[in-house]
Amino acid sequence: MAEERRGSWFGFGFCGFGQALGSGRGRQVHSPEPLQTPGEDADVCRVSASWSYTAFVTRGGRLELSGSAGCAAGGCRDAWASEALLVVLRAGPGRGAGTELQAWAPGSALSGEPLWAHTVGPEAEGEDAPGGEPQAGALPLLPGARAYVSPRPPFYSPLAPELRARRLELGAEHALLLDEAGQVFSWGQGRHGQLGHGTLEAELEPRPLEALQGVPMAEVAAGGWHSVCVSETGDIYIWGWNESGQLALPSRSLAEVGKTAAGEASGPKEDGSDVRTAEGESGGLAPFIAIQPFPALLDLPPGTDAVKASCGSRHTAVVTRTGELYTWGWGKYGQLGHEDTSSLDRPRRVEYFVDKRLQVRAVSCGPWNTYVYAVEKAEG
Amino acid sequence: MAGAGTLREALRALLPPTKEELTLQLGETVERSVVRLLREAVELFCGGRGDECLQASEAILDYSWEKLNTGPWRDVHRDWRRVYAFGCLLKAVCLCEETGDAGAVAAALRVCDMGLLMGAAILGDILTKVAAVLQAHLPSGKRPAPGPAQEQPHEKKARHDHVRIPDVRSERTVPRLRCPSLQHFRKHFLVPGRPVILEGVADQWPCMKKWSLEYIQDVAGCRTVPVEVGSRYTDEEWSQTLMTVNEFISKYIRDEPRDVGYLAQHQLFDQIPELKRDISIPDYCCLGDGDEEEITINAWFGPQGTVSPLHQDPQQNFLAQVTGRKYIRLYSPQESEALYPHDTHLLHNTSQVDVENPDLEKFPKFAEAPFLSCILCPGEILFIPVKYWHYVRALDLSFSVSFWWS
């Protein structure tokens, strides 16, 4: 039985508003750095990052905001950060008073009155994971799974109880839901293929992904315009927009880098390398994929099982069973953690954690950055 | 050649004189964090911290770009497009602040064009003015190297596959009229919704004499425009991309193109006002309800062989032909059922039938649907009534200008 090892958080990517993210040098961090939060760091169990600020929740129920919004508050069990709205789940005043869902303007520093508040019944008390590991958290899915919050009107949307939602994630214009049986549903706009039903049509109501029926999923994650899910057996399925390689499929824009760099004439790159073409398995040229409208099975290195996934606007991060972190997609702000700002259309392991002998246990992506929870590898 | 100093002065002269005026009035839609970043970027700019301003502008551009790509385009809030344009303005000016070399100026012009293509007008349409200044400061090499430049486009025709010129004598043709009066046009064509070719209306426009490949490259060569690549927009391999007019001409018109490229449905005359002086708005547009500013003018510029699949538009259309000929087929809205429109939301105004090679087993009613056709030649204007189905194929290197009005 593994003893509980205290882990810690790391961050990399965009921090242009001074949000806590490693050392915060400059406006971006290109390689993982230990998180320096105001106050106690070792206790952070939940990280929810919006574009200009990040919300940290500790096991002790303390909420810290860092970035364009900064404040601290107590009595919080969960938080969900967006530019328009900060949603927190707070213990109600007094014993046995149940939990209250509050929505605040991020700049309000949680003082005064929330924009709206909603009491959540006591049956909706959640449990923490065994071992005290950070949970993905339930928000934006509300405890009780009868409704979810969103940053746009209507802020509070009911869910049909027969959906038996376990997890819900929101993209820029779509939603993903994972139910108790491991079935994935999607709805919203479909123009970028992010719904996964094989068309570009919108869906008003949650619709199950037929292509995935029969494969129980353990996790779902929504990026700006792409969707990821992880099966119980460790496979990754991915679909939606691939404009920056966030699907780990050949992306035309990445292949053209070097041809269209600002101010340069077209021609071979300075180092003499050719523009990359996509090679198919048979050695022929595979086509570039801009939009993948139904789920594709992703190839990680052989023997790698995925256990967790999280997506930023245009990048993807995956944690494996053996504690490695793989990232790919848009990398302009260092959010892939590979010490540079290149975008990638294939998965690459974040070597920092391997080099430091750290086992990654959880990942939480903001739109343009990535937060990682890792523990030191056991000796022997 | 103008040095960096004069370029910087010329650009500064276009900007508002004070820091306070270098700002946007924005509503609730744009989040406070963005407003804060905009202010910060202006502070950095006015404080001479160009590199940091560039960084902030990049973040402004990347964030507003995401908003521009969220939801249907027509629902994108105008303020996000203004924010995007503002980011383009700061970035373009910062790029030129340090050096005035051709690379920086070309890059700045590309940024301006992105702001014009995707943004919305700000600060008195400043991006158009900045673009004009940048264009004027490009070294004379704004055209590709001389040589084949003198060659007439028609000489290329010999290398192409033999083009099929339809025999329109066997088809019912669109009637032609020479300079009809406004009343006559309204009574006999606009109100009943009947197509007609107007002669003698556009034939004296300056564009008819002036627009050669050389002239277009001179006036617009370094400007970025959207190009459609692929035989037709209903194909799987069809895509849209951005490139300069020079790149478009060299890749898709001059050098034995591998694919079909079409500079289609682009409001080129808003982007490059100089070209607007070569065309006129047909008087007949005043018969509509809308204002002149509401008329959408599009450029359609491409090689022989471009095809617009059979489709309908929600406004009246005057299609003026400037260079080359187009084969056009017209079907009345009453025949819609026989044209088998797609049932998707995205393509519901487009027919599934390939007009010149119809699959009559799949689309049997199409064979009997009556139509009008014509070969539209330079100097002529085709009136396409609202919702009238039309199919267009370019028989030569072609430049058309369309006027959508209501």
Question: What is the pLDDT averaged over residues A51-75?
Answer: 91
Q: Is the peptide bond before A154 cis (omega within 30 degrees of 0)?
A: yes
Residues A364, A367: Cα–Cα separation, whole Å: 10
| Beta carbons of B106 and A368 less than 8 Å apart | no
CA distance B115 to B112: 5
* Helices and strands (H, E) in chain B, number of each type: 12, 13
- Contact check, Cβ <8 Å, A199/B344: yes
Chain B residues with CB-CB distance to A17 below 8 A:
33, 37
d(CA A78, CA A237): 28
Query: Half-sphere exposure (CA, 13 Å, Cβ side) for A255?
Result: 16
The predicted-structure confidence for B221-236, as pLDDT tens digits, reads as follows 999 999 999 988 888 7
Place of tokens 């426009």: B205
Interface predicted TM-score of the whole assembly (ipTM), two decimals = 0.89
| Chain B contact probe: residue of A25, A28, A83 with most B CBs at under 10 A | A83
pLDDT at position B157 is: 41
Interchain proximity A263–B344, CB inside 8 Å:
no
Question: What digits encode the pLDDT tens for the residues A86-144?
Answer: 999 988 665 566 788 899 999 888 888 888 888 876 555 444 444 444 554 589 998 88
Tell me the per-residue pLDDT of B268-306, one tens digit each, with 9 for 90 and over.
999 999 999 999 999 999 999 989 889 999 999 999 999
Contact (CB<8Å) B62/A264 = no
Note the pLDDT tens digit of each residue in B32-82: 999 999 999 999 999 999 999 999 999 999 999 999 999 999 999 999 999
State the Cα–Cα distance between residues B108 and B50, nearest whole angstrom: 14
* A238 HSE (CA, 13 A, CB side): 32
Measured between beta carbons, which residues in chain A are less than 8 angstroms from residue B239?
290
- With beta carbons under 8 A apart, name residues in chain A contacting B71: 173, 189
How close is the nearest chain A Cα to the Cα of B369, in Å?
A: 30
Q: What is the pTM of this model?
A: 0.88
Residue B220 burial by Cβ neighbours in a 10 Å radius (0-12, 13-18, 19+): buried
Confidence of residue B248 (pLDDT cuts 50, 70, 90): very high
Q: Which residues of B touch A51 (CB under 8 A)?
A: 33, 63
Q: Which residues of A touch B344 (CB under 8 A)?
A: 199-201
Neighboring chain B residues of A191 at a CB cutoff of 8 Å: 72
Cross-strand pairs, A221: A228
A258-287 mean pLDDT: 40
The whole-number pLDDT of residue B320 equals: 98
Q: Residue B350 region, left (φ>0) first, then alpha (ψ -120 to 50), else beta?
A: beta
The mean of the pLDDT values for chain B is 91
Q: Which residue from B33, B70, B110 is facing A83, i.e. has the nearest CB?
A: B33
Q: Which of B90-124 are b and which e, b meaning 16 or more Cβ less than 10 Å from the residue's Cβ?
A: bbbbbbbbeebebebbbbbbbbbbbbbbbbbbbbe
From chain B, which residues contact A within 8 Å (Cβ)? 31-33, 36-37, 55-56, 59, 62-63, 66, 69-72, 95, 103-104, 106-107, 110, 239, 344-346
